[in-house]
Structure 1
Amino acid sequence: MNYLETLNENNFTHALNVLASNDPDMEYILNTFGLPPLWLREPGFATLIQIILEQQVSLASAKAVFARLQAKISPITPQKFFQLDHTELKTIGFSRQKAIYGRLLAESIIAGELDLNLLNTMDDEDVRSVLKKLKGIGDWTVDIYLLMALRRPDALPKGDLGLILAIQKVKKLAQRPTPQEIESIAEKWRPWRAVATRLLWHYYLSERSPQSRKNPTSPNVVDSECPEL
């Protein structure tokens, strides 16, 4: 598999079958709860802002703030975002820190220091290196961007609460697994760890509420307590 291969409907189904054949727990989830959503987002500035908003808050809270931002500026571009001052961002619902993070991201793009389009041509670790130079963007934000926006098949957001709780439950662990333990458990899922993550999110949401399967949303922020910085 090419390291810049992206997920699509065809290889997603193939990957799910591979995972099910290699891990009985993946097979159980697939047979019990069916195919997970692909859960994709458009790459770009707006999605990075959305993921920043989702750091360490509930899905409902982040979604509400992002909706107010969309109502204020549409489309959400670095230029339009940077024109909003801290008071306006606070009114929309940004915390002081996240307002700073968003403005620094916008400023870096406007200044030509960051070209998000170039991320499409970089391998996962180079994407991580570039994005983590920005204040407010840590491993979890990069992993979610790799997984959902860049559609990288082997991205693993090992600091994600939904993923942690799903692994703990399906693997019958006494305690929440550490990121290092998740890395070890996920070794057998390579090169499809991003697909395994979606399957485990699907399991987590389905176990929490059957209604979640009818109205799937991005699960990485359900009651999120993801360590970010």
Structure 2
Amino acid sequence: MPQQFTKSTYNGICDKLSQMDADFAKVIQLYGYPSMWTRPNTFETLVHIILEQQVSLASALSALNKLRERVQEITPARILLLTDAEMRECYCSRQKTAYIRYLAEALISGQIDLEGFEQMEDAEIRAQLTALKGIGNWTVDVYLMFVLQHTDVLPIGDLAIVNAIKRLKSLPKETLKEDLVILAEQWKPYRTVASMLLWHYYLSDRKPKM
């Protein structure tokens, strides 16, 4: 079983990271501890993550809320009853509608088992989820981090993470992702919590100064 973090261990891991990397100590000193974002292990959560692909968090949430209004409870069976037109009315693009349906069918057929993922290694979960059309590494990273709370995931496909590392470390804009992955090796085995600190820094550093 991969190592997990909990509410009781989260701030302690942040403290360990601040001892491993002085820049994280500065982030905590300036902005406090990051929130521990979590999501339930449900079909709805994975639908939400698919909706978040390459759009703002606000527009993804608005599509999710529209789906909730339409079906009350977002389950695979209820989603599969919706027509293309009804999905469009819920702000779901044609592509994302297809991805959500593939996921619903995979759950109904037993091709994937969300509860079973709670006992699996990252690589096996990644292999099963990325076999579904429309689910790539970023979606799996977010699922492993927020849903299963695995401690050592680096979502290098996330633009905010990439920009936060460059800004925090004063790196040139043209620094390659591969170099950032090497730099992040120093945060093992806590790269998920390091990412939470990076998002926290990215969001807090952008707020207008009073």
After TM superposition, the score normalised by the length of structure 1 is: 0.88
Q: Distance in 2 between matches of 1:177 and 1:40?
A: 31
**Identical positions, percent:** 40
Structure 1: 5+ residue stretches without partners: 212-229
> 1:196: Cα distance to partner?
0.4
Residue 178 of structure 1 deviates from its aligned partner by 3.3
Aligned match of 1:139: 137
The match for 2:86 is 88
Q: 2:207 aligns with which of 206, 209, 228?
A: 209
SS of the residue aligned with 1:158?
A: coil
CA deviation string 1:36-61 (max 9, x = no partner)? 00011111211110000000011111
Q: What aligned pairs does 1:23-172 form with structure 2 within 5 A after superposition?
A: 23-172=21-170
The Cα of 1:159 is off from its aligned counterpart by 0.7
SS in 2 for 1:69: helix
Letter of the aligned partner of 2:106 in structure 1?
S
The amino acid that maps onto 2:45 is T
With structure 2 as the length reference, what TM-score do the two structures score? Answer: 0.95
Q: Distance in 1 between matches of 2:33 and 2:173?
A: 27
When the two chains are superposed, the root-mean-square deviation of aligned CA atoms in Å is 1.3
Q: Distance in 2 between matches of 1:131 and 1:33?
A: 35
CA contact (8 A) 1:167 1:177 kept: no
Please give the alpha-carbon distance, in whole angstroms, between the structure 2 residues aligned to 1:201 and 1:95.
27
Deviations 1:109-139 (A, max 9, x none): 1112111111111111111011000000000
Deviations 1:138-158 (A, max 9, x none): 000000000001111111111
Q: How many residues matched?
A: 209
Q: Distance in 2 between matches of 1:90 and 1:184?
A: 42
Could you list the per-position Cα deviations for residues 147-180 of structure 1 after superposition, in whole angstroms to 9, with x for gaps in the alignment?
0011111111111011111111001011154332
Alignment partners' CA distance in 1, 2:138 and 2:14: 23
CA shift for structure 1 position 208: 1.3
Q: Which residue does 1:195 correspond to in 2?
A: 193
In 2: Cα distance, 1:159 partner to 1:209 partner: 23
Opposite residue 156 of structure 1, the aligned amino acid is: L
For the residues of structure 2 that align with 1:13 and 1:207, how far apart are their CA atoms? 20
Aligned partner of 2:125: which letter? V
Paired with 1:131 and 1:108, the residues of 2 have a C-alpha distance of 10
Change (3 A) 1:192 1:91: same
Q: Which runs of 4+ in 1 moved over 6 A?
A: none
Alignment CA distance shift 1:176-1:93 (3 Å): farther
2-structure distance, mates of 1:202, 1:139 = 22
Quick one: distance in 2 between partners of 1:31 and 1:177? 27
Bigger relative CO (Cα 8 Å, ≥ 6 apart): 1
SS at match of 1:121: coil
- The code of the aligned residue for 1:163 comes to I
